Amino acid sequence: MTDSLINPSPRRLGPYEVGPLALGCWRLTTDVVDDARALVETALDLGMNLVDNADVYGFDWGGSGFGANEELLGRVLASAPGLRDRMVLATKGGIAPPTPYDSSAAYLEAACDASLRRLQTEVIDLYQIHRPDLLAHPADVAATLSRLREKGKIREVGLSNHTPAQHEALAAHLPFALVTTQPEYSAATLAPLRDGTFDLCMRDGIVPLAWSPLAGGRLLTDDGIRPELGALLDRLAIREGVDRAAICIAFVLAHPSRPVAILGTQTPARLESSTAALGVHLDRADVYAVVQASEGVPLP
């Protein structure tokens, strides 16, 4: 048997080591702090020490408003202060409904301060620009991020939903290295394979944080995916003795840029079952078969 492409070891994110699986807070919309704390504790106990949030989380998907999910996580941290030291706390700013994007100095500095208040923390370990502001010069954005870092409000910086060109334009003006980029990536959404995102990560030692590794659940329901992809995922799941979700997560982890898969489930039991992905064996033949089934055409 050929070696598996999945490396379950921690990823290096600046001074931090983070697990290959992370907890995403987009759906953290419960009103019950104890339930949210149980989810966070389960994630940390399972080695999912990167906790990914954003100021806009809560604005949609059944949330109670802009900032709500950060505020809930802040209440969790206040109720169990020891959790903060166990996690790499990540959040994002730059989406400003209904504008929709604002990375001006005044907005980003105010947004960062508001995130710190809601999260009830003194520093954000990883601060990411959520989406590119097409009307902001990257030199100005870089200057703002540098000030926030110099003031001790943020430690490391990354980008989310930026093209490689947008990433490089900002990086060129920063006096420090970006440590993450956060693209959508799954067996149903392969753009980072093709658009240079993963190549840039491997060139510069940047950690890709893959959001929606289950394609928002579509990979589990067959909604909008090719029938041959669903059938292949099921065959691999039967072979490996896991569920389809574990195969989908393992596919994300198999890329040599060593992504972190951000898991959006709000069920502790599903977080636990997701760790089965770390023991899945996928080789080149398996991963290329998934790519070809997803795209519906053979590779040249």
The amino acid at residue 17 is: E
Active site residue 57: yes
What type of residue is 53? N
Helix residue ranges per DSSP H, the chain = 33-45, 68-79, 105-119, 138-150, 164-171, 191-194, 197-204, 218-221, 227-240, 244-253, 268-274, 284-295
C-beta contacts of 265-273 below 8 A and 24+ residues apart: 265/27, 266/27, 266/28, 266/30, 266/39, 267/39, 268/38, 268/39, 268/42, 270/245, 271/23, 271/39, 271/42, 271/43, 271/46, 271/48, 272/42, 272/46, 273/243, 273/245, 273/246
Cα 126 to Cα 110: distance, rounded to the nearest angstrom: 17
Choosing from 57, 101, 107, 185, which is the catalytic residue?
57
Residue position matching structure tokens 């060139």: 203
Point out the residues that are catalytic.
57
